[in-house]
Amino acid sequence: MNFFIVDDDEAIRSMLEEIIEDYDLGNVVGEADNGSIVDSQLLRLKKVDILIIDLLMPIRDGIQTINDLDGDFSGKIIMISQVEDKQMVGKSYSLGVEYYITKPINRLEVVSVIQKVIEHVILEKSVSEIRKTLNILEFGIEKNKTEDNYSNKNITLSGQFLLTELGMIGESGSSDLLDMLEYLSQYEKQNPFDHEFPPLKDIFTTIATKKLGGLANQLDLQKEIKASEQRVRRAIFQALIHLASLGLTDYSNPRFEEYATKFFDFTEVRKVMLELKNDVKPSISRIRINTKKFVKVLFLEAKKEL
């Protein structure tokens, strides 16, 4: 990955470059002490994948710099600043900022955020390549056979992309959800569920059996099913918090608009938004989570990405 760092503090630029190099996250291909020299042409020339930019700088700040890019930069943007004003953060999100890091810089936080952004970039590129390949294969002789193979192989990639979009890819339940996608992809070929989705209990039982092996005893199987249900529920709850946070910061955030009502009952989304607004820590026990709806929507959306 190629990084470009913009910050008026030389020590911050040096620290970020050191972190990127020490953790083998990529290469710093350029830096600047303000946004006046940064434009889409420079970023293309440098083949920048991730732009790390300070919010407040002299001459031209981060908000103005991103605004002047006018959507011509196709890479990811990480904003860094001491400012925690919700309106400023909302403005950053509306301009395409993917992640936010607050000063003073914490090494582990920086590494974690950059790794998540890198995963997102890789997933987007993978999904894009899959789409291109499938579009080409549509004109080939073995169209149907090849599309089936790609669908089987890459439903997981599409799922990973969506789970990243939903802010839950780091949750342990994400692995269970990806296993569900693989199972549902196979299931649908023999049992199209245009009108009837397979029972959730059957889905959990199947992925638990696959994980433990066919010789697992009934007690161990039931324990794994229960554990899987809890992991998935916690992961979905994390997605709900993530979307509610986006909506609270900026109600017109495109990710919030696209996914909030699609994956969740908006009554529950509003409930979490109000709790966050009032500095009340959301509790999974106070929220109604429709796991079946989430899994079904995830599968249908993952199919669309192929």
Which domains are assigned to the chain? 2-109 (3.40.50.2300), 140-305 (no CATH)
CA-CA distance, 194 to 95, in Å (whole number)? 38
CA-CA distance, 144 to 149, in Å (whole number)? 9
pTM here?
0.59
Burial of 290 (0-12, 13-18, 19+ CB in 10 A): middle
CA-CA distance, 35 to 37, in Å (whole number)? 6
| Predicted local distance difference test score (pLDDT) of residue 27 | 92
CA-CA distance, 263 to 162, in Å (whole number)? 11
119-133 average pLDDT score? 75
The Cβ of residue 210 has, within 10 Å, a number of other Cβ atoms equal to 12
Q: pLDDT above 90 covers what percent of the chain?
A: 38
Q: How confident is the model at residue 306 (pLDDT cuts 50, 70, 90)?
A: low
Answer whether residue 141 shows pLDDT above 80. Answer: no
Q: What is the pLDDT of residues 182-210, one digit of tens each?
A: 999 888 888 776 667 889 999 999 999 98
Q: What is the pLDDT of residues 64-114, one digit of tens each?
A: 898 888 778 888 899 887 765 556 666 666 676 768 888 888 898 899 889
Q: What is the pLDDT of residues 227-281, one digit of tens each?
A: 999 999 999 999 999 999 888 877 788 889 899 999 999 999 999 999 988 888 8
| Predicted local distance difference test score (pLDDT) of residue 86 | 59
